[in-house]
Chain A
């Protein structure tokens, strides 16, 4: 494919992610940090995020399965997860986490459970979009 076209597609994904609130300013911050020393900084960070947060998601899933439900633990995990999401600017995911926190507080298991499914949904959606985005960038970079 044409280099310029690839780049344009990537840019389109990027701006739609930002416009639609999937990503926020933090993502732009990451882009600004990228330089010649770390030419793939953003991608590295995002990859790190997805790797690390996978474990947090697993923890939450497990905690939701355990009986009796330990809401303190759930809240803790969610707090960590939320902090992680803020690192790449995963806005929508982060917002969903607030809802989860509220359900935790009132110890509403169903609320927690449902919210978490939504969180995972958003999480995966964003992941896919970002994967496409970086893939396009990579392909574009490979073309001379």
Chain B
């Protein structure tokens, strides 16, 4: 009995009841059966018989569903493509279904990022457990943010080093701190309901220390005073003389600081032989500290893997894998590669990124912190992937989440523009940092170009700051590239089945295809305009 009378965002019964499932299958019989089965599991079910329709539903309200179940064979769109889209844009767990259980197909599904592959006929007991995919994903993301205890080393150091070179050092610092507190506020407001659901996971989270610029400065001073090789958390703590700070806080911060420095070193080494388009296979530092993060990252779909993206020489930045955004070649990366292979036109991407960079980071460009930009298109997608309902009580995770959830390409470019890749949290600070540098302090969207705001609003309801605003067009651009090529790729296939001789089909269905194309190009032109808003 479906006892879920609640709105999607206020599920009062214990999870997993009320799980919001979107089922996509062109077979009406299966759709009916699955709907009934899922309802019996006390899930909230929405059915769709077309993949395009499903995507539309998903895009309309990004927060409307927890999990997607989709058939592999559908007339209008290959199930794998839908899978990619969902993963890239919404980062929801997707379960594939098929009557075909051939290993190669299953493998393909997994490679494309499916979190499960069910064989038809599907038993109800298989559906009962799908909530574990949702929970697993959320926990992983939580862990990712948690292990970062994010701090924007690069950003802070950047400020500290180049205080005078910046527009206004105070302003930048202020912006950073403002960011921290505002994201914390937002996070609290938005994620309360999630905390209720994940009572267990919240027990694993600790109170966060916000490493403000001041605090970090004290830290660095202490480290320098002691001598980097002789340094230890206790010594630092004593020197810093901050009463509320614990030894553990310092220890973990020190660990990250060390990672940051080693990464910096590597980058400097590479800078010497870098030029645009050089592939940077620099994987994570071999630091023990990072390996645990790495491991937890392995399962992430939103892991950034950065290599192979070629940019014409235009003084863009080189992305290095950070210790948290794993550069591991995992399934996600392959899948991203698959996604890329299908579609994105490089030149366009470059152009877009150029625009973004020129527009936002020129002051930074002059500084010589920038190295050659090198990242994969896949990377951008993966950035996108962090879902909205992320970590529960980490103030910074909110910022990360939103930061990451903004169109990835831009954010990755942006952050790299300033410096190397940083822990996710710090990235958000980074972005903020950049925007504050170039435009003004403060993180609210109103600081940004008004023309970009509609784009912003279209996107995540989480915080959208200045940094993100610049990036949203990119995502849209990417989406439409995807859609466009998808049309080209799949049109024939689609038309295959939508045969005029098929009496069953409504001629209207055939008309759908052109509309599909129209939709894409129209939006694309919208994006186009916004991209050139300088």
A29 in contact with B504 (CB, 8 Å): no
B100 in contact with A79 (CB, 8 Å): yes
Return the CB mask of B63-74 against A: 1 if under 8 Å, else 0. Answer: 000000001010
| Contact count band on B | 20 to 34
Q: Which of these binds chain A: B9-17, B27-35, B244-252, B469-477?
A: B27-35
- Interface check A21, CB cutoff 8 A: no
- Interface check A115, CB cutoff 8 A: no
Assess A82 versus B99: contact at CB under 8 Å? Given A52-B29, A87-B30, A87-B120: yes
B99 in contact with A45 (CB, 8 Å): no
Partner of A83 from the list B30, B32, B36, B503 (CB cut-off 8 Å) is B30
Partner of B124 from the list A29, A41, A48, A55 (CB cut-off 8 Å) is A29
- Interface check B1, CB cutoff 8 A: yes
**A32 CA to B125 CA in the complex, in Å?**
12
B504 in contact with A83 (CB, 8 Å): no
- Interface check B360, CB cutoff 8 A: no
**A115 CA to B505 CA in the complex, in Å?**
26
- Interface check B123, CB cutoff 8 A: yes
A79 in contact with B121 (CB, 8 Å): no
Q: Which of these binds chain A: B142-150, B267-275, B494-502?
A: B494-502
**A73 CA to B37 CA in the complex, in Å?**
31
- Interface check B184, CB cutoff 8 A: no
Name A89's closest neighbour in chain B (CB-CB).
B121
B5 to chain A, nearest CB (A): 15
- Interface check A16, CB cutoff 8 A: no
A83 in contact with B98 (CB, 8 Å): yes
In the complex, the number of residue pairs spanning A and B with C-beta atoms less than 8 Å apart equals 74
B121 in contact with A26 (CB, 8 Å): yes
- Interface check B40, CB cutoff 8 A: yes
| Contact count band on A | 20 to 34
Residues of A contacting B: mostly = helix
B25 to chain A, nearest CB (A): 9
**A35 CA to B124 CA in the complex, in Å?**
15
**A58 CA to B503 CA in the complex, in Å?**
8
Question: What are the residues of chain B within 8 A of A48 when measuring CB–CB?
Answer: 28-29, 32
Partner of B32 from the list A25, A35, A44, A73 (CB cut-off 8 Å) is A44
Question: What are the residues of chain B within 8 A of A49 when measuring CB–CB?
Answer: 29
**A84 CA to B120 CA in the complex, in Å?**
9
A99 to chain B, nearest CB (A): 15
Partner of B37 from the list A33, A52, A89 (CB cut-off 8 Å) is A33
Question: What are the residues of chain B within 8 A of A26 when measuring CB–CB?
Answer: 121
A55 in contact with B30 (CB, 8 Å): no
Question: What are the residues of chain B within 8 A of A80 when measuring CB–CB?
Answer: 26-27, 73
**A26 CA to B503 CA in the complex, in Å?**
29
B108 to chain A, nearest CB (A): 15
**A100 CA to B273 CA in the complex, in Å?**
60
A sample of 26 cross-chain residue pairs with beta-carbon separation below 8 angstroms, ordered by A number, consists of A32-B124, A33-B33, A33-B37, A33-B124, A35-B40, A41-B36, A45-B32, A49-B29, A52-B29, A58-B502, A58-B504, A62-B501, A76-B73, A76-B496, A76-B497, A79-B99, A80-B27, A83-B99, A83-B120, A84-B30, A86-B99, A86-B121, A87-B27, A87-B120, A87-B121, A88-B29
9 shortest A-B CB distances, which residue pairs? A55-B504, A83-B99, A87-B29, A26-B121, A86-B121, A49-B29, A86-B120, A48-B29, A33-B36
